[in-house]
């Protein structure tokens, strides 16, 4: 998976950002349309290319939103009864900014606490990209 940005493409490298947000207003976590919009906006503003999004609202509550990206994928899994959400954003290459996407999601959801970690995956080809 790669996006032609004029730089070398097809590099086996990426960043995987995993986040857990807590203390989020439960109504936001049960609003499928809102979650679709904030995820799409966050990904677009972080230079990721959204190819397709799907979502599922669960009964009695909870939403999962998945975004297929040219650079890889992103997902949201909500637990309104607990005011919590799992966020997963993985992007290959060096164009997209998954950390920014998670930061923008956190700004939109306004959690009282958050745990965010970034995992470098593949090989580090940063020195090859100008």
* Active-site annotation, residues: 72, 77, 92
In what order do the strands lie in the sheet containing 84-92?
50-57, 63-69, 72-79, 84-92, 13-22, 113-122
**Three-state secondary structure of 32-94:** HHHHHHHHHHHHHHCCCCEEEEEEEECCCCCEEEEEEECCEEEEEEEEHHHCEEEEEEEEECC
H or E segment at 31? none
109: DSSP letter: H
């Amino acid at each position: 998976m790669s996006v032609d940005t004029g730089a070398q493409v097809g590099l086996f490298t990426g960043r995987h950002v995993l986040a857990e947000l807590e203390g989020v207003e439960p109504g936001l976590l049960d609003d499928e349309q809102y979650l679709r919009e904030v995820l799409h906006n966050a990904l677009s503003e972080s230079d990721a290319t959204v190819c397709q999004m799907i979502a599922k609202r669960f009964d009695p509550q909870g939403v999962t939103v998945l975004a297929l990206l040219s650079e890889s994928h992103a997902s949201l899994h909500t637990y309104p009864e607990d005011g919590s959400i799992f966020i997963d954003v993985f992007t290959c290459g060096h164009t997209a900014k998954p950390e920014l996407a998670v930061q923008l999601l956190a700004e939109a959801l306004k959690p009282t606490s958050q745990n965010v970690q970034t995992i470098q995956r593949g090989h580090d080809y940063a020195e090859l990209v100008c």
